[in-house]
Structure 1
Amino acid sequence: MTAFPKSLRAVTVAALSLACIAAHATATDELRDFVRNVKSGKSTFTQTVLSPNGKQKVSNGSFAFERPNRFRFVYEKPYAQTVVGDGTKVWIYDPDLNQASSRKTGDALANTPAALIVSNDIDRVFTLADQPSKDGLDWVLATPKQAEGTVRALKVGFRNHALAQLEIDDSFGQKSMIVFSAFEANAKLPADTFVFVPPKGADVAEQ
């Protein structure tokens, strides 16, 4: 039998090694790769909040982010609300009441779902653990390392390496699910995406 050339054998061994590494990649690895390689993104979303008494509230909107710590949630239905993190402050604006409030990014992001997506150092904030794959998604459980804040646990799901879903359990007994649609990784976003200026006449409260 003709022996493989040394160069071909080396390529074959390298390919098999990469296949083994890929086979052993975990959902936690996928989340860390997402943080390392996806610098920005945008999508639409549907958020479902289930209260302890069984009542359910569904809202829809759009989402965009850019590392580090810049993001924009625009809730459109059933009630309008805009949440903007500009890297320094996090703004929440209610257009129906024409009210805006802000907090420093460090205080506002601590232990939140947004921190899991937009932070550059998730291992500093969360303890990560792989979860069983379910509904075609690869799942990671993220538990806040500090007990302060309202979030008890987060689960993030990926489908084909794309951000697909977040599940949140909070200290009020609520369970929330955010489903992302048509997620676009490393999207080119307008320069003013993460700029918020309170509208004229708005009631503004800053901390």
Structure 2
Amino acid sequence: MTVQRFLVAGLVMMMAVTVVAANGNVPAAERLAARMTELDQLSAGFSQRLVDGRGIELRRTSGQLWAERPDRFRWEVDAPFAEVLIGDGETLWLWDPDLEQVTVRPYDDRLKATPARLLSGAVEDLLDAFDVDHLAVDEGRDRFTLWPQGGDALFERLEFIFEGEQPRYLIIHDGLGQRTEVELLDVRTGFDPDPERFRFDIPEGADVLYEEAESSAHD
């Protein structure tokens, strides 16, 4: 399972800030957006696993992520195989050090309808791209379920689970009955990340693959 599939199929995390008081009159999308609005930076470790429809674990990975609004993120898989995905708001780089290969592509409309935009994109895109349900699971824990709008989404639905004021779990369901469960560890917010973290200098001698942007099916 590559980082590129994690991103495009929905394996990225969201950022959150202060908990909004439970209020049945507040729409779920607005409640979730309020958690994100004040957040500009996030870093965390992650542990994630891919599970099939029978609950059998197919793969487990771990690594680190960094994000800064607007539209900048870095996703590093440490184990079992190193991979790096970087976005600066205009360009995406996928670096596979084992293959010494980098894939370069521009941002496009499909990315707006993926969890990647929850990582670092404009909060307004959340309300445009997803229908949101909210459930207070128990005291101190909230679950938000996001259903992508349109027929060209790359996943069926995703769930964010918050414990207190921090996001703790992301569960992504695909159309094949599989799900990816991501746990966030040691979450940090409100710091000044190194801007060079969100740029990628292509190593000398690396194979470079350029991909074209994909437009939305509705365009």
TM class by shorter chain equals 0.7 to 0.9
Matches within 5 A, 1:1-207: 22-24=21-23, 28-52=29-53, 54-107=56-109, 109-120=111-122, 121=124, 122-133=126-137, 137-207=141-211
* Per-residue deviation, 1:55: 4.0
Q: Distance in 2 between matches of 1:179 and 1:66?
A: 20
Deviation of 1:45 after TM superposition, in Å, equals: 0.5
Q: Runs of 5+ in structure 2 lacking a partner?
A: 1-19, 212-219
Cα distance in 1 for partners of 2:167, 2:31 equals 10
The alignment's TM-score, normalised by the length of structure 1, stands at 0.81
Paired residues, number: 187
Relative contact order, higher structure (CA 8 A, sep 6+): 2
Aligned-residue sequence identity (percent) comes to 26
Equivalent AA in structure 1 for residue 33 of structure 2: R
Q: Which residue of 2 aligns with 1:13?
A: none
Q: Which has the higher helix share?
A: 1
Larger Rg: 1
| Whole-Å separation in 1 of the counterparts to 2:139 and 2:158 | 17
SS in 2 for 1:112: coil
Residue segments in structure 1 that go unaligned for 5+ positions in a row = 1-20
Q: What is the CA deviation profile of residues 48-104 of structure 1, one whole-angstrom value per residue up to 9, with x for unaligned ones? A: 111347342110100110111111110001111101111101211111001111222
Segment of structure 1 superposing worse, 96-105 or 130-139: 130-139
Offset at 1:195? 0.4
User: 1:111-134: CA deviations, max 9, x gaps?
Assistant: 222222322121011111112415
